[in-house]
Amino acid sequence: MVEPLRALLALCCLALLTIPAWAAPLDRAAFAADLCGDGTAQVRGPEGLVQAGGDLSADDLAFAGRLLNALAERRLSCPADGALLLDRPDAPEGHDALTGAVRPAAEARAPILSLRQRAAIETARGTVALLTGPDPAARAAGLAVVERRIATVPAAVLDRARDAETDAGLKATITGLAQAAALSSPDPARRLAAIAAVAASPSGTAQARLAALKNDPAYASDPAFQAALDAGLAKVSRAVVIGDGLAVVYNGLSFASILFMAAAGLAIIFGLMGVINLAQGEFIMLGAYATYGVQEAFRRLAPGLLDLYLFAAIPVAFGAVALVGIVVEALILRHLYRRPLMSLLATWAVSLFLVNLVRVTIGTQNLQFAMPAYVSGGVPLYADFVVTWNRLFAIAFAAATLGLTLLILRRTPLGLDIRAVTQNRDMAACLGLPTRRIDRLAFGLGSGLAGLAGVALCPIYSVNPGMGSGFIVDSFMVVVLGGVGSLLGTLVAALGVGGANVLIEPVSGAVAAKVIVLVGIILFLQRRPEGLFAVRRRR
Amino acid sequence: MSGAVQTALAGPAGPARRAVRDPLVAGLVGLCLAAAAGLLVAPPAPYLVNALGQLAAFAILAVSLDLVWGYLGILSLGHGLFFAIGGYVCAMHLLAHGAAVTGVLPDFVQFMGWKSLPAYWAGLDHAPYAFVLALALAGLVAFVFGLASFRSRVNGVYFSIISQALVYVAMLLMYRNDTGLGGNNGMTGFPLLFGWPMGSPGVVTGLAVAALLTLAAILASTRLLVGSAIGRRMLACRDDETRLRTLGYSTTRLKLGIWCLSAMIAALAGILYVPQVGIINPRVLAPDLSIEIAVWVAIGGLGRLGGAVIGAILVNGLKFWLSAAMPEAWPFILSGLVLLVVLVLPNGLLDLVGWRPRPTWLRSSR
Amino acid sequence: MTALVVDALTVAFGRFTALDAVSLAVDPGEVRAVIGPNGAGKTTLLDVISGITKPVSGRVMLGDHIDLTKRSEAEIAKAGVRRKFQKPSVFPALTVRENLEIGCGPALPARDRPARIASMLGEIGLGPRAEVPAGRLAHGEKQWLEIGMVLAAEPALLLLDEPVAGLSDTETAQTAALIRRLRRPDRAILVIEHDMGFVEAIADRVTVLHEGRTLYEGSMAGARAEPQVIEVFLGR
Amino acid sequence: MTHLTRRSFVGTAALLAAPALIRPAAAADTVKLGCLFSSSGTMANLEGRLNHVVRMAADEINGRGGVNGRQIEVLTSDPASDWPLYAQVGRQMLQQEKVAALFGCWTSVSRKSVLPVVEQNDGLLFYPLHFEGDENSKNVVYVNSPPASSVLPAVDYLMGPDGVGAKRFFMIGSDYVWPRTINKQLKGYWKSKGIPESAWREEYVPFGFSNFQTLVNQVRSFASQPGGQAIVVLTVVGSSIPDFLREFANQGISATDVPILGLDMVEADLEGLDTGKLVGHLNCWAYLQAAKGERNQKFLADWAAYVRAKNVPFSADTVIDPMVSAYDSVNLWALAAAKAGSFAVPEVRKAFAGLSFNDPSGYTLTMTGENNYVSRGVFIGSVNEKRGFDVLWQSPNAPTPVPFSPYG
């Protein structure tokens, strides 16, 4: 707490140098009363603060900031008079906001914020952070909030922030924003600059803002304005189209990576043994539950490293599910290699068993996962295109899985054996390969891959006993479409199916997209049952 | 229908003797007739009558699958589709009939904002037309899908996967509200059957008796079929399709004919099922349900029509009972039963009583 | 006229060329043996003739008009071609009699079947086993049953894929005798076999295949004299 | 429950021997109530807990001496989320067990499946879920609110000055009757307020849909169009709810940018989510766990105690609207039966007129003779950091239910 305060003080001094006189000090008691007041007052207070923000002393801003933060974080308690700042929500006592005295919070009420108040408070907090943030990162975060509600923030706030800013990059950003805010300024030169500034950071919102100016009288009368606006609008529109295109590619890629993760293990199992493993979805579910187990172990044993549990879960999920797969193979499937249709029913029974085992022992509710920063949130990359970390995680995960599996198949003795058995079981057996053992290991590998898919899905989907059932039809179609026994075929098929789904969805809706893609695959397979990449073999 | 099947139906007397020599099927047919007579003479509580009728419908469905799986080696994981076609057309008939008599439009039609039943419902209030339409539609869908698959020699597990995808697509389509057949809620609230109020004891008993008699008829006639020359070709096709083709038989036609026949029997089961449960919705198209049909057949005993009947009645009877008596245990019992049958009793529960009319060499497709 | 003409037949599986522009002609009434080491393409040749495999290029003419590469297995069979597979391919779930009944083919009227079946049962000596499911037969019995099945339709072109593989000497001799009995002016017989003694006993001419190509065509004696043939096949 | 099922289903298996197996109805000193809630299958996590709530309510009433001098016996079953099985079990409960009333169904389709059964047997089904309305059977008591009396107030709130002054609407729903009906009624409502059609968009996804990237992209671009504040009216159900919320938060859209009104959203849907980024999104129900008042405190405490005492496999500290509605159902039935002095359905039905019950939500539930709907209050909840909902707004009184919406 001390360090930021000192920085605040330093900043205040700096501010004092640039802006010598304050218009009026903040009425702290009234402000506190507003924040503890009814909905209207809770909006009035923060809005007033933002309006006066350009002129308030740093001290006042810091005071307001403390109160606003406390209110947003449910640490503001409202007794009959004044306001209390609590250290944590529902604490029994707190410091009086004005006097600093410790008072009990028992009889006080904790206000609940509606969306309107929330928006006003968010803007006010952003303003305070922008003006008094101790480091560029805090000020940049404040700026991001202010930018989202630029219409409600007076120019004075931005001017003051710009003048006080020491970080060159941030200063330029604030300048740009201040310029952009002047879209409806009476000064034609500033307007032109504003158009350029808005066009410099393209987005759907920017496009809408510029498009609205087409109705402005100046558009008809002022050729320079018209030219600037048209140029700016064209630039933004182009960027938005590109951004949307990128989003489509990204969405397709992320869907494809999920499909691929779900189908990769199947491709190996089906390609090698001709076994339709209907429990593959449940193996994915088990992988996700193994991940949960790892998380809980971290929580107990190494809470400090909790953020890394997803990585620790990779070998655990792989190993655990591979083991389950090997057990299933050893107990059940090994007796059924000559009867693939019966192995299909057997794996269905296994899937039924696993779902209900998990349901009875752990329960039906969604599991609670801690989401480390690298799998939550996202970053706007270009125009409206946001890269969400959880999807990127899945894409990277799928790519790594692909690489690793190819490595195993192409570069290890097991991989060689697997490929030999896949291509000609009888010949491999004649050559003395232990085909039964290879089957078992390959089944373990395929199951382990499903376990990995479970890890990758944790940040994306809800994890519950039934989560696996949704994958089975899709992933089989991907495997068969790609061509049995061809991992690259599976990849291409996953990309194709994912891309087609994402492309069709905006046109005809999600249901129709799925139907169209599946019907397409069915028709294709009936013309070419061996799929895209399977090698024609002698019967 | 292929010429082959027609020959079978007009087959010589030999197969008939065989059917009589099949004590399992003969016994089951007798049991069905006796049960039907019993229901007419001394009906038990209506809900029991109703449950019995449902079981009979499921048994017909199982027989339809056994016909293609047990005797042709084609495992369809999409038979729920044909069942649903029968069910949906039957539901449409019941609603159209109800609307024609009472003048009140069905719920979902009002919901869709339609002022009357859509044009393609025309005539559905006439039962014979609806009946023929249901069978024809199931046969047509089966024909198109089968023709495409069998001509490209899609078989074995590939056929299973693709047929599963087919039923899945149908499910997605039917869940769509805009498809216009009630979406997720499906169709329900059938007021009348042939002018009688649905749910009255007479109608309940009548439906159950109809289902039992149909089961007996289907069982007897399919037994005749599989005992005929056609049936021998089916077994030959199951065990070595290439061999059969190189002996001059068009297996595509044979498979297509039996496949369509099986689809129509499944549709018949759907027709009998829907008025008894009073609802049809896209859930019957869930891939899981179609797999379950295969489970009934496998548990009872593959390639013996009686086995399918026993399996369907046993599994569903147990399900009715256990899912209420021991809801936690039922899924475990079912999966255990499947594994037991698959691993220990490859010819189904009939192995337990050592009943083997003829060896079934459960050879996989090549 | 010839019974069967194979003309520049090429078959490929992926990158592997199984048959490379193979040609041969079989006259009516001839018994032709195709010999060659493993992987020479012998079975592939029969696969193409019986319609199981489609070639990349080339033609297979039955008689003067029928191009077999354009027809399905069933159509080829209806045109009078029958094949006995290397692995005895009978229907295990059906009895011997039922197998033979199917062997009669769809074209034979039902009233003619019992006589045909009876004569076949006599021919292959399985009369006492007529009601036994084929799955319970011994290996040799299965071979004979399959021969009976393919003969039941009185084929114009008979393809035999290693008919004596795994048979005892006595059975081999019986089979050779049977094949000699089967010779008819309107029937051509194409045999694939490893057993040289057997080939010598039955074949009018031999074709030697090696790595998908025709190495030699002519009499068995000529084959024994051909240095190339000796090198790749007979010499070892 | 073992009694019920063993008796009957052995009968089914034994076919013709069945009648002999059915024992006469239970002794005369109890009255039976039947439950139709699944404890397995897709609905288990939600429906399963209602079985226990009904038992808890019955225990309470029995503790007070029962109804009309008789103790209540609760029969439960497991229709296994299989719609035809609801009808099957319901039929059996009415015909064989002669239950005085049925409590059950969560989804509309299961209710529709049971509806003919209760109508044919003149039974009573208490249905505890909010639903699409447009139905009024004399054999069903619709304990929860139809959209016109719950959803419209919530949307009104969001459109008003206390909300966000919403002007534009992005409706995303699962593709079935409930979302479509709600959206149809909303559109009718907006039309009546002179809002142009260009101000809304409607998208439907299949059940269990989870890939919301494209839709969230569309929401973002919709919200950036001019024309005023946009909100999302979310009527997806089941696992689609958390999946949508997660994608929404990950793409950086907050409740103050575009608020979501999640009409089927309950606490269970927030399990497994980081709600810090979801704070402020809204739901609306006739009961929220955060409802103020002694009655709610008592109910929460009772439930927690019941869970512990009976070892119920559900959370002791989560209570959702349908649980309270199921609790209300039993009490309403008991009040009506007591008032009628009879368990006969026609008598009980007559007694509904003028019935009132003070339920845990703090409102007084009332019924009129006009229909079988119940007046309930309306709560608007706001997601908080603790994976729960705060009460943001609640209606001043319990509005009169409108079974058939005037807006569509």
Q: pLDDT tens digits for D352-376?
A: 999 999 999 999 999 988 889 999 9
Name the residue among C67, C24, C32 with its Cα closest to residue C188: C32
**Mean pLDDT of all residues belonging to chain A:** 85
pLDDT for B365 equals 35
- Residue of A277, A348, A475 to mutate for B, most B C-beta atoms under 10 A: A348
Nearest to A469 by CA among A262, A322, A255: A262
Note whether D40 and D138 are same-domain residues.
yes
Nearest residue in chain A measured CA to CA from D215: A506
Chain D, 260 to 279: residues with Cβ < 8 Å from chain A are 268, 271-272, 274, 277, 279
D408 within a domain of the structure (yes/no): no
Tell me what the mean pLDDT of segment B86-105 comes to. 92
Residues D188 and D283 in one domain: yes
Question: Tell me: the pLDDT tens digits for A285-319?
Answer: 999 999 999 999 999 998 888 889 999 999 999 99
CA neighbor of D295 nearest in space, from D399, D377, D374:
D377
Answer yes or no: do D241 and D389 share one domain: yes
Residue D116 to residue B199, Cβ atoms within 8 A: yes
pLDDT tens for residues B171-199? 989 988 888 888 888 888 888 888 888 87
Is A247 close to D217, i.e. CB distance below 8 A? Answer: yes
Q: Which two tokens stand for residue A20?
A: 């010598």
Asked if residue D136 and residue D59 are part of one domain, the reply reads: yes
Contact B323 D78 (CB under 8 A): yes
- DSSP reduced 3-state for D220: helix
Residues of D in contact with B197 (CB under 8 A): 120
Nearest residue, CB atoms, C52 vs list A536, A537, A539: A539
State the first-to-last Cα distance of chain D, in angstroms, to the nearest integer: 43
pLDDT of A470 strictly over 60: yes
Spell out the residues 6+ positions from residue A318 whose beta carbon is closer than 8 angstroms to its own.
A287, A448, A449, A451, A452
Instruction: Determine, yes or no, domain membership for A454.
Output: yes
b/e for A316-335, b at 16 or more Cβ within 10 A? bbbebbbebbbebbeebbeb
Once rounded to an integer, what is the mean pLDDT over residues A502-530?
A: 86
Output phi, psi for C133, to 5 deg.
Answer: -60, 140
* Helix%, strand%, coil% for chain C, nearest 5: 40, 25, 35
pLDDT of B16? 39
Residue D7: pLDDT over 60: no
Average pLDDT, chain C: 86
- Say if strands C157-161 and C188-192 run parallel, antiparallel, or are unpaired: parallel
- The pLDDT-based confidence of D321 (bands split at 50, 70, 90) is very high
- Report if residue D368 sits inside a domain: yes
> Do residue D382 and residue A205 have CB atoms under 8 angstroms apart?
no
**Residues of chain C contacting B232 with CB distance shorter than 8 Å:** 91, 94, 98, 101-102
**What was the pLDDT predicted at A23?**
56
Q: Is residue B308 within 8 Å of residue B219, measured between CB atoms? A: no
Residue type, A260: F
Query: Of the candidates D22, D39, D206, which has its C-beta nearest B327's C-beta?
Result: D39
Q: Does residue B249 belong to the interface with chain C, where contact is any CB pair within 8 Å?
A: yes
Q: What pLDDT does D258 receive?
A: 93
**D206: contact with A, CB 8 A cutoff:** yes
Claim to verify: residue A493 and residue A351 sit in the same structural domain: yes
Answer left, alpha or beta for residue D122, where phi above 0 means left and psi between -120 and 50 means alpha.
Answer: left
Supply B126's token pair. Answer: 């006439």
Q: Is residue A26 located within the same domain as residue A124?
A: yes
Question: Does residue D37 contact residue D47 with C-beta atoms inside 8 Å?
Answer: yes
d(CA A68, CA A63): 9
Question: Are residues D127 and D232 located together in one domain of the fold?
Answer: no
Q: What are phi and psi of A414, to 5 degrees?
A: -60, -45
Q: pLDDT per residue over A119-158, tens digit each? A: 899 999 999 999 888 888 899 889 888 888 888 888 888 8
DSSP β-bridge partners for residue D200: D169
**Whether the predicted pLDDT of A257 surpasses 90:** yes
Alpha helical stretches, state H, C34-190: 42-49, 73-78, 96-103, 113-124, 139-151, 169-182
Mean pLDDT of B286-311: 91
Q: How many folded domains does chain A comprise?
A: 2
CB contact under 8 Å between B295 and A360, yes or no, is no
Query: Which pair of tokens denotes residue B294?
Result: 């295969």
Query: Is residue B42's pLDDT more than 60?
Result: yes
Task: Give burial (CB, 10 Å; 0-12/13-18/19+) of A476.
Answer: buried
Percent helix, percent strand, percent coil in chain B, to nearest 5: 75, 0, 25
Is the pLDDT confidence value at A208 over 60?
Answer: yes
- Measured between beta carbons, the chain B residues lying within 8 angstroms of C51 are 245-246
Are D190 and D271 members of one domain? yes
Q: Which of residues 322-341 of A touch B (CB under 8 A)?
A: 332, 335-336, 338-341
Q: Which of A114-123, C118-127, D269-278 is predicted with the least confidence, judged by mean pLDDT?
A: D269-278
**Of the candidates B12, B242, B248, which has its C-beta nearest C106's C-beta?**
B248
Determine contact, residues B347/B299, Cβ cutoff 8 Å: no
> In this predicted model, what pLDDT tens digit does every residue of C149-169 receive, in sequence order?
999 988 989 999 888 877 888
Return the pLDDT at A376. 82
Query: In Å, how far from its chain's centre is CA D228?
Result: 33
Confidence tier at A535 by pLDDT (50, 70, 90): low
Least confident of A173-177, A284-288, A508-512: A508-512
Per-residue pLDDT for D44 more than 80? no
Distance CA A219, CA B186 (A): 56
Q: What is the pTM of this model?
A: 0.87
pLDDT above 80 (res C62): yes
C190 Cβ contact list (under 8 Å, min separation 6) = C4, C26, C32, C33, C34, C46, C49, C157, C158, C159, C160
- Per-residue pLDDT, averaged over A246-265, amounts to 92
Contact between residue D262 and residue D282 where contact means Cβ atoms under 8 Å apart: yes
pLDDT at B292 over 90: yes
Q: Determine the distance in angstroms separating the CA of B194 from the nearest CA of chain C, rounded to an integer.
A: 46
Q: Out of A176, A192, A208, pick the residue that ends a domain.
A: A176
pLDDT tens, residue by residue, A326-338: 999 999 988 887 7
Query: What total number of domains does chain D contain?
Result: 2
Cross-chain Cβ contact D16/B38 below 8 Å? yes
Q: Is B251 on the interface with C (CB under 8 A)?
A: yes
Ordered DSSP codes for A464-518: -GGGGGGGHHHHHHHHHHH-TT-HHHHHHHHHHHHHHHHHHHHHH-HHHHHHHHH
What is the distance between the alpha carbons of residues D383 and D283, in angstroms, rounded to a whole number?
8
Map out the domains of chain C with their CATH numbers.
1-80+157-236 (3.40.50.300), 88-154 (no CATH)
Q: Does B128 touch chain C (CB under 8 A)?
A: no
Q: What would the mean pLDDT of B352-358 be, rounded to a whole number?
A: 57
Strands (E), D318-408: 356-358, 364-367, 374-375, 379-383, 389-394
A249 lies in the same domain as A155: no
What CATH number is given to the structural domain containing D233? 3.40.50.2300
The residue with greater pLDDT, A106 or A407, is A407
Q: What single DSSP character describes residue D401?
A: P
At residue C63 the predicted structure's pLDDT band, cuts being 50, 70 and 90, is confident
CA of D300 to nearest chain A CA: how many angstroms apart?
20
Q: Residues 6 or more apart from A96 whose CB is under 8 A from it?
A: A82, A83, A84, A85, A102, A103
Beta-bridge partners for C83: C159
Same domain, D270 and D302: no
D229 contacts chain A (CB < 8 A): no
What DSSP state is assigned to residue A534?
A: P
pLDDT of residue A293: 94
Report the pLDDT value the prediction gives residue A18, as an integer from 0 to 100: 47
Helix segments in chain C, DSSP class H: 42-49, 73-78, 96-103, 113-124, 139-151, 169-182, 196-202, 220-225, 227-229
Between CA D329 and CA C10 the distance in angstroms is: 80
- As given in the structure block, the two tokens for residue D71 are 């103790």
Task: Establish, for the pair of chains B and C, how many residue pairs have beta carbons separated by less than 8 Å.
Answer: 81
Query: For D129-253, where are the E strands, in sequence order?
Result: 140-142, 168-174, 200-205, 230-235
Is residue D21 scored above 60 in pLDDT?
Answer: no
Q: Are A325 and A494 in contact (CB under 8 A)?
A: no
Are residues D230 and D157 both part of a single domain?
yes
Do D157 and D271 share a domain, yes or no? yes
Chain C residues inside the 8 Å CB shell of B363: 92
What are the pLDDT digits (tens) for C9-58?
A: 898 877 778 888 888 888 888 899 998 877 778 888 889 998 888 888 88
Q: Which candidate, A327, A530, A339, places its Cα nearest to that of A440? A: A327
Least confidently predicted of A253-267, B143-157, D266-280? D266-280
Instruction: Give kind and range of the element (H or E) at residue D24.
Output: none
pLDDT tens track for D226-248? 888 999 999 998 888 989 999 99
For residue D401, is it within any domain? no
Nearest 5°: phi and psi at D316?
Answer: -75, -25
Q: Å from B277 to nearest chain D CA? A: 6
If asked whether residues A155 and A287 sit together in one domain, one would say no
Q: Name which of C77, C94, C107 is nearest B246 (Cβ-Cβ).
A: C77
User: Does D8 map to a domain?
Assistant: yes
pLDDT at B328: 73
Q: How far apart are CA D152 and CA D154, in angstroms?
A: 5
Q: Give the Cα separation of A130 and A139 in Å (integer).
A: 4
Are the beta carbons of D12 and B279 separated by less than 8 Å?
Answer: no
Chains D and C touch (3+ CB pairs under 8 A): no
Cα separation values, D379 from D149, D393, D403, Å:
11, 6, 19
Mean pLDDT of the residues in chain B: 86
By C-alpha distance, which of D209, B86, D398, D128 is closest to A511?
D209
Is residue D80 domain-shared with residue D171, that is, in the same domain?
A: no
Q: Rounded distance, CA B6 to CA A388, Å?
A: 62
Distance from CA of A530 to the nearest CA of B (A): 9
Task: Give me the percent of chain A exceeding a pLDDT of 90.
Answer: 27
Q: What sign has the CA pseudo-torsion D28, D31, D35, D36?
A: positive
Domains of chain B: 3-353 (1.10.3470)
Rounded CA separation C132/C153 (Å): 21
Quote the pLDDT of residue D22.
31
Cα separation, D401 vs D395, in Å, equals 13
**What integer is the mean pLDDT of A375-395?**
87
Highest averaged pLDDT of the listed ranges A187-196, A497-506, C225-234 = A497-506
Range of the domain at D176: 147-290+380-394
Model confidence at D327: pLDDT above 90? yes
Given pLDDT bands bounded at 50, 70 and 90, which one contains residue B327? low
Q: Quote the ipTM score.
A: 0.85
- Whether A160 and A251 map to the same domain: the answer is no
Q: How many residue contacts between A and C have a Cβ separation below 8 Å?
A: 14
Q: Which chains lie within 8 Å of chain B at 3 or more CB pairs, if any?
A: A, C, D
b/e burial code for range C68-79 (CB count within 10 A of at least 16 → b): bbebbbbbbbbb
- Give the distance, in angstroms, between the CA of residue A44 and the centroid of all CA atoms in the same chain: 34
Asked if C93 lies within 8 A of B361 by C-beta distance, the reply is yes
- Over 60: is that where the pLDDT of A399 sits? yes
Q: Is residue A67 part of a domain?
A: yes
Q: D189: number of CA atoms within 13 Å, CB side?
A: 19
Task: Please tell me the distance from the alpha carbon of residue B247 to that of residue B257, in angstroms, as a whole number.
Answer: 19
pLDDT in tens, A354-370: 998 998 888 777 788 88
The whole domain housing A360 covers 243-527
Same domain, D259 and D304: no
Instruction: Please answer whether residues C88 and C142 qualify as being in contact, where contact means their C-beta atoms are separated by less than 8 angstroms.
Output: yes
Domain-embedded: residue A425: yes
Chain C contact for B243, CB < 8 A? yes
Shared domain for D332 and D279, answered yes or no, is no
pLDDT score at C234: 55
pLDDT at D219 over 90: yes
pLDDT-based confidence at B133, cuts 50/70/90? Answer: very high
Residue A269 has what pLDDT?
87
> What pLDDT shows up at residue D23?
34
Round to whole Å and give the CA distance between A173 and A248.
Answer: 29
Please determine, for residue D292, whether its predicted confidence score (pLDDT) is greater than 50.
yes
- Residues A489 and A365 grouped into a single domain: yes
Residue C172 has what pLDDT? Answer: 87
